[in-house]
C-alpha cells in the first residue's frame, strides 16, 4: 500500500495509525484461492520444449533390403511435442555396458506425432541402428530428445518449389514433409528425386506419396525398370526439374552431396539456394591409433575411462556407459557444450561450430572432438 507523506503537521502519524486497519481489511477481503505458480505460457513452453520424452518401441517393420521402420509411442504420462516436418529426434538407451544414442529424422507428420505416433526409419549401419534392428524388442524404453534441427521449409528463406534429393535413409525428412503437405500443415511444392541401387533398396512406396503438390522420381543405378529412371542424379536429370524459382534440399551420404553439388554447379545453380542436412561426425582416419586417459566430471561425479584418437569423445563416453548429453552429433547445436580442464584435442575445421568465446575459454563440443593427449573434461548432466 502506498504511503503519501503529508505537509499537514501530525497528519503523517494519523495516516500511519490507520495503516494496520486498512491492511487487515485488505487481507480479509482477499479470496483464499491458491497462488498461481504456473502460467499458460510456461505450460506451452514446456509442451513445446520438454527436453526429453520417454518413449517405447511399439512396432518394427522391415521396409527395404537394409531399412526398418520403427514406430514409437510415448511412455505412460508422456506426450510427443509439436515439430516441423524435416526435424530429427535423438534417441538413446542403455545397451549392455554402453549408453548409446543417435539422431533420426522423424518420418511421421507433425499431426501424427501429436496423436502419439512417432515413426523413424533405421538403416543397418552403426552400433545403435544395428542394436535397434536386431536386439531392441517391442516395449523397449528409449529416451527421445525434443525435435531439433533447422532442415525444414522456411517461407522467408526458401522458394515455394523444393527439389529434394535423397539417397538411402536420407529420404526420411522428406517423407514427413510430403505427409505434411498432404495434410495441409505445410504450404510448398516438393519434387523428390530419390537415388537407389535397385527397387529392393527403396524404403518407401513412391505411389503412396505422389499427388497434389508432390512429385516422386526414383533413379535406379543398378536396375532398369518401367516407371523408374536409370543411372545417377546427373545435371541432365536435374535440369528437368529445377529453375530459378527452386530451392534444393539434400539428405544422404557425403559422397552424394559432393556429386550432386558438382552437377548443380555445372548448371550454374545458385549455391545459396542449396541446403543439406549434416551427417553425424564419425571416426577419423589416423596413421596410428593411440589410447589416452580421459577423466570426466559430471557435477560431483568423476569417471575415468580410455579414449582413442580416432573416435570422438562422445563415442568414448557412450562406450563406457556414461550418459552424456548429446543431440545433433555433428558439432552444430551446441547441446553437448563442455569445458576442457586440461589436455590436447582435435576438431576438424568443417565440424567446428564453436563461438569465439568457447575457443578462448577452452570449451568444446565432445560430439565433434577427438583426443590428442590425456584429457580432463567437465560435461553437462543429463536430465531425462
Ligand atoms: S550434440 Fe550438437 S554440438 Fe554436440
Contacts of 1 (CB under 8 A, 6+ apart): 19, 22, 23, 26
**Torsion sign, CA atoms 139, 143, 147, 151:** negative
Would the CB of 365 count as within 6 Å of ligand 1? Answer: yes
Average the pLDDT over 193-210 and give the result: 95
Indicate the top mutation candidate among 332, 347, 354 to test ligand 1's pocket, ranked by most ligand atoms within 8 A of CB.
332
DSSP 156: T
Domain enclosing residue 368, as ranges: 291-378
Same domain, 235 and 305: no
| HSE-CB for 29 with a 13 A CA cutoff | 6
Please state the rounded mean pLDDT for residues 343-348.
98
Q: For 2-14, what is the mean pLDDT?
A: 74
Whether 180 and 209 share a structural domain: yes
Q: Is 368 inside any structural domain?
A: yes
Let me know how long the chain is.
384
247-295: pLDDT as tens digits: 999 999 999 999 999 999 999 999 999 999 999 999 999 999 999 999 9
- Is residue 375 in contact with ligand 1, taking CB distance under 6 Å? no
- Cell for 363? 570449451
| Total-model pTM | 0.86
**Ligand 1 pocket member 354 (CB < 6 A):** no
Tell me: do 234 and 260 sit in the same domain: yes
How far is it, in rounded angstroms, from Cα 326 to Cα 334? 9
Residue-wise pLDDT tens digits, 31-51: 888 888 889 999 899 888 988
Best of 149, 313, 330, 355 to mutate for ligand 1, by most ligand atoms within 8 A of CB? 330
β-pair type (229-230, 345-346): unpaired
Is any ligand 1 atom within 6 A of the Cβ of residue 329? yes
- 326 CA: nearest ligand 1 atom: 1
Q: Give the number of other Cβ atoms within 10 Å of residue 274's Cβ.
A: 18
Cβ of 149 below 6 Å from ligand 1: no
**Average pLDDT along the chain:** 94
Do residues 76 and 176 both lie within one domain? no
Cα of 261 vs centre of ligand 1, distance in Å, is 25
pLDDT of 333 above 70: yes
Grid cell 576438424 is found at 348
306 plus 365 within the same structural domain: yes
| Sequence-separated (6 or more) residues with CB below 8 Å from residue 360 | none
- Could you tell me the CA-to-CA distances from 139 to 58, 198, 300, 363 in Å, in that order? 6, 33, 33, 38
- Looking at residue 16, its pLDDT comes to 83
Q: Does residue 228 register a pLDDT over 90?
A: yes
CATH of the domain at 124: 2.40.30.10
Please report which confidence band the pLDDT of residue 384 belongs to, taking 50, 70 and 90 as the band edges.
low
Q: Domain for residue 324, yes or no?
A: yes
How many domains are there within the chain?
A: 3
Return the percentage of the chain with pLDDT > 70, whole number: 98
Amino acid at each position: 500500500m502506498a504511503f503519501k507523506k503529508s505537509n499537514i503537521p501530525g497528519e503523517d502519524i494519523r495516516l500511519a495509525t490507520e495503516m494496520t486497519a486498512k491492511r487487515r481489511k485488505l487481507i480479509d477481503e482477499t479470496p483464499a484461492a491458491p497462488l498461481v505458480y504456473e502460467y499458460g505460457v510456461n505450460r506451452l513452453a514446456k509442451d513445446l520444449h520438454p527436453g526429453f520424452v520417454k518413449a517405447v518401441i511399439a512396432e518394427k517393420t522391415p521396409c527395404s533390403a537394409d531399412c526398418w521402420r520403427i514406430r514409437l509411442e510415448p511412455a505412460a504420462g508422456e506426450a510427443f511435442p509439436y515439430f516441423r516436418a524435416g526435424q530429427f529426434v535423438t534417441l538413446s538407451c542403455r545397451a549392455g555396458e554402453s549408453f548409446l544414442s543417435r539422431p533420426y529424422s522423424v518420418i511421421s507428420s507433425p499431426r501424427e506425432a501429436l496423436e502419439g505416433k512417432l515413426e523413424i526409419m533405421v538403416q543397418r549401419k552403426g552400433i545403435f541402428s544395428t542394436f535397434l534392428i536386431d536386439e531392441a524388442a517391442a516395449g523397449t524404453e528409449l529416451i527421445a530428445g525434443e525435435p531439433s534441427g533447422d532442415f525444414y521449409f522456411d517461407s522467408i528463406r526458401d522458394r515455394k518449389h523444393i527439389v529434394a534429393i535423397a539417397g538411402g535413409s536420407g529420404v526420411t525428412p522428406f517423407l514427413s514433409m510430403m505427409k505434411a503437405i498432404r495434410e495441409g500443415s505445410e504450404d510448398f511444392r516438393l519434387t523428390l528425386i530419390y537415388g537407389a541401387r535397385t527397387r529392393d533398396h527403396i524404403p518407401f512406396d513412391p505411389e503412396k506419396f505422389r499427388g497434389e503438390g508432390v512429385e516422386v522420381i526414383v533413379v535406379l543405378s543398378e536396375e532398369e525398370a518401367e516407371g523408374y529412371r536409370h543411372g545417377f542424379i546427373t545435371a541432365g536429370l536435374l535440369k528437368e526439374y529445377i529453375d530459378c524459382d527452386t530451392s534444393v534440399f539434400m539428405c544422404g551420404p557425403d559422397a552424394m552431396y559432393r556429386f550432386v553439388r558438382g552437377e548443380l554447379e555445372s548448371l550454374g545453380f545458385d549455391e545459396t539456394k542449396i541446403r543439406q542436412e549434416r551427417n553425424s561426425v564419425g571416426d577419423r582416419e589416423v596413421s596410428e591409433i593411440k589410447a589416452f586417459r580421459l577423466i570426466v566430471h559430471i557435477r560431483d561425479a568423476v569417471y575415468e575411462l580410455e579414449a582413442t584418437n580416432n573416435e570422438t569423445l562422445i563415442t568414448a563416453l557412450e562406450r563406457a556407459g556414461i550418459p552424456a548429453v548429446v543431440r545433433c552429433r555433428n558439432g552444430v547445436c551446441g547441446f553437448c557444450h563442455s569445458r576442457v580442464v586440461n589436455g590436447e584435442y582435435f576438431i576438424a575445421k568443417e565440424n567446428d561450430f564453436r563461438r569465439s568465446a568457447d575457443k578462448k575459454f577452452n570449451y568444446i563440443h565432445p560430439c565433434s572432438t577427438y583426443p590428442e593427449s590425456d584429457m580432463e573434461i567437465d560435461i553437462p548432466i543429463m536430465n531425462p
